[in-house]
Amino acid sequence: MEAFAPTPAELVRRYGAKKLQNEKYEVSALNLPWVFKQEVDMVLKPGGRYVIEGVQVEGLTPPWEAYVALVDQNGDFGVGYVAAKRRRMFSCIYKTYSKPLGLQLAPYIEVKPVQLLLTDKEGVVECVDRALHARYIAVFINAPANLFQSLKIVVTPKIKENV
Gap between the Cα atoms of 41 and 8, Å rounded: 31
| pTM, full prediction | 0.91
Q: Work out the burial of residue 63: count CB atoms within 10 Å of its CB; fewer than 13 is exposed, 13-18 middle, 19 or more buried.
A: exposed
DSSP state of 91: S
Kindly report, residue by residue over 85-120, the tens digit of the pLDDT: 666 677 899 999 999 988 999 999 999 999 999 998
* CA torsion through residues 63, 64, 68, 71, sign: positive
User: What was the pLDDT predicted at 40?
Assistant: 96
Q: How distant, in Å, are the alpha carbons of 3, 56, 156 from that of 99?
A: 11, 20, 23
